[in-house]
Structure formats: C-alpha cells, structure tokens
Structure 1
Amino acid sequence: MNGVIVASTTAEKSKKRNPGESKGFVEEMRFVAMRLHTKDQAKEGEKEVKQPEEKTVAKWEPSVDGYLKFLVDSKLVYDTLEKIVQEPAYPSYAEFRNTGLERSASLAKDLEWFKEQGHTIPEPSSPGLTYAQYLTELSEKDPQAFICHFYNIYFAHSAGGRMIGKKVAQKILNNKELEFYKWDGDLSQLLQNVRDKLNKVAEEWIREEKDHCLEETEKSFKFSGQILRLVLS
C-alpha cells in the first residue's frame, strides 16, 4: 500500500509544472527573474528593497562619473557575451549571434560622445571585470548556467534598463538619449526572435538541466546589481 502512495506522490510531483512551463522555458526564466524584482521594479516583484540600486529610480542621485563607470563595466560584459557567441564553446551558443540585441558597438559610440564632452573614460572596475571573467569560465563548462545570464542581461536591459537610462538622462544628461538605449528595428520583434531561439535550445535539455539554469538567476542578479550600483558611486 505504501508503495502505491509513494508512486502516486512521485507521479503528482512530476505532473506539477513550474510557473510558465506550458508556454516554454523562457517563461519559466521570466517567472524566476520576476520574483527577484522589487514591487518598484516590476508589478510581479516580490523582493524587499535592501540594496541602494533597488530603490525607486526617482530617489537615485546619480553622478556622471558613476554613470561612466557603469557604462564602461557594462560594455566589458557585452563585449564578453558577444565574443563567447562568436567563438562558441558549445554549438548552441551560435544561435545567438547577430540577434540585433548586441550592445557593445552602441556603448562604444556613447563612450566616444562622453569623451568629446571632455570626460575621462575610466578603466573597467572590479564588478565588470569579475562578471566578465565569471561569464567566460561559465560558458566553457556550464552552458545551462551561461544561458541564464545571457537571457537575464539582454532582457533586463531592454525593460528596466531602458527605464533607468531615461531617468538618469533626465537627472544628469539633459535628457540625451544614449545609443545604449536604441535598437535597429522593432525591439519587441528582436526579443521575440531570441525568445524563440532560447526555447529551441532549452528543448534539448532534461528537466534537471533546466532547473540548474533557473537556479543561476540569483547569481545573475547579484553580478548585474553590483554593476548597476556603480551609477550611484
């Protein structure tokens, strides 16, 4: 009798689906990411505000120097991601070449603009260097975890990142819109194309690999948060 109960419980567990699972793996990643947002950052957010960068952007006091540090470290991360997919350690990464979401060239133009305004462009700092090294190492040995970071970096920038860019521009850049926040073509379509590719790649993974990818989300937020905090330094 006990054996029957155990078997039925196991069957129930395997039937129990993750939030969003029926819509594809990207929706599962989105659900996990949303839980790590605060209510200020997203309607579905559940996290309490603890770090300075988690406060509502209206309360931020950004400086041009801090923002430049953020842009330089962000560029290093995007350079690293673009290099990884161009020279893939795993064939699946090649799916993510030339998606239209790339930010490296845009950031290079923005940094050039700041230079023309007389600002000194800093060298990359610890948050960017640490994250870039982590992504490089991860991409060589742990494709599922790497894909988690790839998704969260690009998709977060297209949503909350744009909102932050707009608010910071209002406060310190006289509303100038940087290239970092512009895309060639319809952004929603570019994102959908990448969603489709991510879902396709994840179809090859077993459930444990998918769960392993989802578990990496918190680290992705931690690394990105450290870079974002530079805006306020």
Structure 2
Amino acid sequence: MSKKRAMGGFVDEMRAAAMKSHTKDQAWEGEKEPEGPPVSKWEPSIEGYLCFLVDSKLVYDTLETIVQKAPHPSYAELRNTGLERSEALKKDLEWLKEQGHTIPEPSSPGNSYARYLEELPEKDPQAFIGHFYMVYFGHAAGGRQIGKKVAEMILNKKVLEFYKWEYELSKMLQNVRDKLNEVASNWSREEKNHCLEEIEMSFNYNGEIMRLILS
C-alpha cells in the first residue's frame, strides 16, 4: 500500500503532462513527433555547450535561491534535497575555464527563464512547483542522457559534475516526489490544473536552453 501511495499522487499527473510535451525521440512515452535530428546526429560546439551550462546555472541559481528564501511556506519542504545543481555547475565552469575556455555571460534563453521564475514565488506557488518539478526531474532523466552524450562528443568523454549526484539518485527523486505530493495534497482541482498548465511552458523554456548546445 505504501509503495502504491509513494508512486502515485499528483506527481503522476505532472509526469503525464510532461510526456505530452516530449517527442518520441526524447522519451519513449513522448507523444509528439520529433522536429529535429536525434541526439546521436547532433553536431554540438564547445561554445554552444558553454552557453548551455551558463544558462542552466542561472536557472538553478534562481530556483535554489527562491527555495532557500521560501517566500511561500511550502518551498521550505524542497530545501537540501540532494538534487541541487548550482554548485556542481559552478565546479564544471571553473574546470572548463582552467582548460582555457572563455566562460560567456548568460544569454537570452537563460535570462528570460530566470526572470519568469522570479515573478512566481509569492503570487503563484502552483506554477512555481510545476517549474521546480520540470527542471529537476527533466535533468535527472532525458537531460542527463543528452548531456552525457554531448560531453562524450566534445569533452573526450569527461563526465561533468552536473551529471553526478552525491547519493543514490532514485532514492532522492522518490523523496522529492513524496514532498511534492504532500505540498499538493491541499490544493484544489483548479490549482492542480493550473500547475499542470505550467508544465509545457517550463518544457519550452528548458528546450530553448538545451538548443544552445547546437548554437
């Protein structure tokens, strides 16, 4: 019974909404037809990958700062989950700089998404939770696989800290699923639907940042 409860709940609805935004190339449950080449056919550049990492760090910095400040009480439940990526990205960018690469400033996709996230915390917790879910769970799934493949192509198979976690990832994800289900347990159906509506917006923002790899 407990396992069924842990795996179900509102997070299952969020996952289903996310799959509607994914293509069949991005996830086996994806519903959309792919518009571009599969990852195996990508031709990434180190300059584009650096832009992707920098913009990703800005998004994680923004999310993690909001969660730490917890302008809405429910966000306090999402502190120190082990999924945080800002420090890992900081180490990666420092390493890349040591290799002689110039680290760019954040670009339009990252700046736009960070600004949008900063507007949500106090006035729209349901929307914020939707973005929190998409960013962290998306990276732990398809984002991790794409990033590792790109790193193999252009970083001589170096695995960045961005794609490593201190503890067992599956357990940390389940812990956060439970927390998200608890946060959403008191929401109305209307509030839950509003959260689900933000899933596609988050997917689109993250897709713009991911596409920087090919720039």
Does 2:27 match 1:42? yes
TM-score, structure 2 normalization: 0.95
Separation in 2 of the partners of 1:45 and 1:219?
16
Separation in 1 of the partners of 2:79 and 2:162?
18
Separation in 2 of the partners of 1:185 and 1:155?
15
Separation in 2 of the partners of 1:148 and 1:218?
9
> Which deviations, in whole Å up to 9, do the C-alpha atoms of 1:136-170 show, x marking residues without a partner?
10112100011000000000000111111111012
- Paired residue for 1:154, among 101, 118, 136? 136
Structure 1's unaligned 5+ residue stretches are 1-21
Q: Any residues of structure 2 matched to 1:159-178 within 5 Å, and which? A: 159-178=141-160
- Which residue in 2 is equivalent to 1:136? 118
- Alignment-mate amino acid for residue 104 of structure 2: P
Separation in 2 of the partners of 1:33 and 1:105?
26
Does 2:26 match 1:25? no
- Alignment-mate amino acid for residue 182 of structure 1: K
Does 2:51 match 1:75? no
User: Is 90-99 or 34-43 further displaced after alignment?
Assistant: 34-43
- Alignment-mate amino acid for residue 180 of structure 2: L
Structure 2's unaligned 5+ residue stretches are 1-6
Return the index of the structure with the highest Cα Rg: 1
Does 2:67 match 1:85? yes
Secondary structure in 2 aligned to 1:204? coil
Tell me the matched-pair count: 209
Does 2:39 match 1:57? yes
Does 2:177 match 1:195? yes
- Alignment-mate amino acid for residue 198 of structure 1: L
- Which residue in 2 is equivalent to 1:209? 191
- Structure number with the bigger relative contact order (C-alpha 8 A, sep ≥ 6) is 2
Does 2:199 match 1:230? no
> Which deviations, in whole Å up to 9, do the C-alpha atoms of 1:102-150 show, x marking residues without a partner?
0000000000000000000000011001100100101121000110000
Secondary structure in 2 aligned to 1:164? helix
Secondary structure in 1 aligned to 2:120? helix
- Alignment-mate amino acid for residue 111 of structure 1: L
TM-score, structure 1 normalization: 0.88
Separation in 2 of the partners of 1:170 and 1:85?
33
User: Is 36-45 or 105-114 further displaced after alignment?
Assistant: 36-45
- Alignment-mate amino acid for residue 12 of structure 2: E
- Alignment-mate amino acid for residue 184 of structure 1: E
Separation in 2 of the partners of 1:23 and 1:70?
33
Deviation at 1:99, TM superposition (A): 0.3
Separation in 1 of the partners of 2:93 and 2:27?
29
> Which deviations, in whole Å up to 9, do the C-alpha atoms of 1:2-60 show, x marking residues without a partner?
xxxxxxxxxxxxxxxxxxxx92000000011011111111111111223x4xx311011
Separation in 2 of the partners of 1:105 and 1:132?
17
- Alignment-mate amino acid for residue 49 of structure 2: Y
